[in-house]
Amino acid sequence: MSLGYAEKLSFIEDVGQVGMAEFFDPSHVLQCKIEQLAKMIQKSKHLVVFTGAGISTSCGIPDFRGPKGIWTLQREGKDLPKASLPFHRAMPSMTHMALVELERAGILKFVISQNVDGLHLRSGIPREKLSELHGDSFMEMCPSCGAEYLRDFEVETIGLKETSRKCSNAKCGAKLKDTVLDWEDALPPKEINPAEKHCKMADLVLCLGTSLQITPACNLPLKCLRGGGKIVIVNLQKTPKDKKADVVIHGLVDKVVAGVMEALNMQIPPYVRIDFFQIILNQSLSKDERFINWTLRVASVHGLTSQLPFIESVEISFSDDNKFKDAVLDEQPFIIKRRTTETETFDIFLKINYSEGCDCLSTKISIPFKFEVSREEHEETIDKEAVLQSLREKAVEESSCGQSGVVERRFVSEPRSETIVYATVTNLRTFHCQQSVLANGDLKWKMETSRKRSRTGKRKPRA
């Protein structure tokens, strides 16, 4: 797992209290609190959830202040946690997906996150119902027109600095910036204002996996109290806000949320990750007009210079083995160049091999090759959302991934070019929760996760 975010932050001496002891409520106490929380959510008219690093630890992302947190280990002079998978392949947890279901059901009105892992957005929480207070490691924004770009790769900078890409809006073209705050950066009004608004409206603020030490973010949940709202804190460690909470639950976030969903008789939806890549086929006549020179490129939808982090290599073969040699492209950019006569037609077969962190090994596609001297420029009309929904449904139904479909196709006549954008299912994760009664009458949760292969103040640690 990438620890780049912590390493990129400016150095400060005081990052707050670290290495605090963890507490676990006895099983019978935990079950009573879970049932109490479920009833509070059921009665709630405006539920807001406030999340911290604790909801992502089960995704393989280390926290900061826990016994094995990044800052705890740094202070002790110990080695940092080893990566369990690439940061960009981290998948939403059971808790992330439960929040998606609560939002779809109209129960959850807003999510406020201090995390920069982008998992809430990736899980399916609508952007308009999410405040990422400290930014998103996979998001770039245009400072001129405000456009946002969610990437499949980790943006290289933090601290609201310019990146190497520009806004794709033809009327803008400004240089993009990363969205992740450094210690001295003020919370953006675009994130803090709606967060504050919803906390004031909330009758229940549920804090999940946060030590509630980073100001001013940690004070947001308290804003519900003035209107009679209640606070529930779910965290393994004690927090400075525990005395303000109606209920404090010491337990694993996934376990607590799974229990709540069971009590509410609600299912946790599967997570289906869909990634995108484009294939660009350029063709042109040679100078003597006797041959067709063509180039095939497998590229990122974020631009030709952007990396494809989820693709390891591309194997290329042809329907006419006698004309062309097979090729294996194992370094980016993935480009192959060939020459053929004007009248030849054949099929190009591509095997896209996925990288570490993808549940499926590869997917296969084919492209017919036929040179045409002239053709009107146009874009084929494809219902992208219908294709994506079909891919999701098929992946869940078949309990597997690797499915792909075309979501965009463009033709340019001069120079002759065809661009096909593919969507492909690279990960599938389903969640199962089951209650069982122990001999002493206590309830035990069995959780299974299956994988198929100040308002604008500066961020400060609370002492």
Closest listed residue to residue 206, CA positions, set 235, 236, 165: 235
Is the separation of the CB atoms in 13 and 459 below 8 Å? no
Query: Catalytic site residue 432?
Result: no
Among residues 273, 272, 301, 276, the alpha carbon closest in space to that of 423 is found at: 276
Q: What residues have CB less than 8 Å from 400, skipping those under 6 apart?
A: 360, 428, 452
Percent helix / strand / coil, the chain, rounded to 5: 25, 35, 45
Catalytic one of 134, 198, 250, 302 = 134
Helices (H), 118-211: 119-123, 189-201
Encoded tokens for 257: 């949320």
Q: Is 360 annotated as a binding residue?
A: no
Centre a 10 Å sphere on the Cβ of residue 440 and count the other Cβ atoms it contains.
Answer: 7
- What is d(CA 59, CA 61) in angstroms, rounded to the nearest whole number? 6
433 is in an annotated binding site: no
Helix (H) or strand (E) holding 416: strand 416-437
Whether 32 has a binding-site annotation, put simply, is: no
CB–CB of 358/427 below 8 Å? yes
For residue 179, give every residue at least 6 positions away whose Cβ sits within 8 Å of its Cβ, in sequence order, or none.
132, 135, 136, 139, 140, 141, 148, 155, 160, 188
Ligand-binding annotation for 142, yes or no, is yes
**Is residue 15 within a helix (H) or strand (E), and if so which, with residue range?**
none
For residue 301, give the nearest of 105, 190, 149, 453 by alpha carbon. 149
Buried b (16+ CB within 10 A) or exposed e, 231-264: bbbbbbbbbebeebbeebbbbbbbbbbbbbbbbb
Q: Are 6 and 72 in contact (CB under 8 A)?
A: no
Structure tokens at 105: 């059901």
Residues in the chain: 463
Q: Which residues are catalytically annotated?
A: 134
Annotated binding site for Zn(2+), which residues? 142, 145, 167, 172
Residues at the annotated binding site?
142, 145, 167, 172
